[in-house]
Amino acid sequence: MKIIAYGIRDDEKPYLDQWSKDQNIEVKAVSELLDEKSVDLADGYDGAVVYQQKPYTAEVLDKLASFGIKSLSLRNVGVDNIDADAIKRNDIKVTNVPAYSPAAIAELTITQLMRLLRRTPVFDKKQAAGNLQWAPDIADELGHMTVGVVATGRIGRAAMRIYEGFGAKVIAYDVYRNPELEAKGIYVDSMDELYAQADVISLHAPATKENEHMLNDETFAKMKDGVWILNPARGAIIDTDALIRALDSGKVAGAALDVYENEVGIFNTDFGSFDAIPDERLKNLMARDNVLVTPHIAFYTKTAVKNMVQFALNNNKQLIETGTADDIVEM
């Protein structure tokens, strides 16, 4: 058995090598992402492990199939960049890693919220300028707030446990309700109810056509004045222009964004200077004291990276051996 793994970073390589040694399976690690140029590297392999940053087009998938590769394993959750018709036409089986570390995403989300509530970005700037005064930057306390969690999957539930640990009241909305949370009476019946009650809105929903620009001018208007917005999920959930308008008006007190709707090609890139970042809306957000932008790093922990690599390799091995796997995705 031979597997090719695309887009392997230096921080992933030790976990890949460990798995390859333990399983006695040859794994070729290449730094290139899977695309029309790099796909030829897969010739002669039985399966491919990949990472979602580029679209997996019909051309790429047809070429994989021509090499006899019918096993495609993502090291991430999302599959929205895959040409589903080409997958079906070529009878390619796809897996993802649905839960590499829910705690990693939840922990950064709450860390960023606490920084916003305690005004630490403002104090960092003041202290750097030699100003050690408190006022006027008085803080808020999470324990006196209502947090509205949107989507109660693994990550949403991990975040809820932390919010509750701070003493916050937690409400939630999800089309698919968790029985245990249902029994606790945590769910509200509509997003409008959540918007009306929440002091903090914590987004943990996937990127779907239905969720695109879920937060927009109309929905921001339904929220409390001074609401805090947290998005460690998918950039497309928020209409960026609407968020900027809501920040300008004060409707939104602040936001912590680990994702951005135009992040591909921008996040995980060193531009050399702030001015060189080629997105004016992103720079608008980054320049604000009440907005924290991180470049899609919520997942980026040692535990999560190890799990993403080794779970994906396990899935690919299962697909090659049996034609199915624990984390198979129906396309």
Q: Which helix (H) or strand (E) holds 308?
A: helix 302-322
Q: Which amino acid is at 79?
A: V
Residues 28, 2 contacting (CB under 8 angstroms): yes
**106 contacts: CB under 8 Å, gap ≥ 6:** 155, 158, 159, 161, 162
**231 contacts: CB under 8 Å, gap ≥ 6:** 203, 237, 238, 255, 256, 257, 258, 259
Nearest Cα to 119, choosing from 143, 138, 142, 144? 138
3-state secondary structure at position 113: helix
**Looking up tokens 């001018």, which residue turns up?**
217
Residue 198 is encoded by which pair of tokens? 């929440």
Question: Active-site residue 288, yes or no?
Answer: no
Q: Are strands 200-203 and 2-5 parallel, antiparallel or unpaired?
A: unpaired
State the catalytic residue, choosing from 12, 75, 234, 261: 234
Cα–Cα distance for residue pair 172/151, rounded to 1 Å: 7
Residues 182, 206 contacting (CB under 8 angstroms): no
Question: Active-site residue 263, yes or no?
Answer: yes
State the catalytic residue, choosing from 177, 263, 288, 330: 263
Question: Active-site residue 234, yes or no?
Answer: yes
* Cα 298 to chain centroid, rounded: 7
Which ranges constitute the DSSP H helices of 154-223?
A: 154-165, 179-184, 191-197, 217-221
Active site members: 234, 263, 296
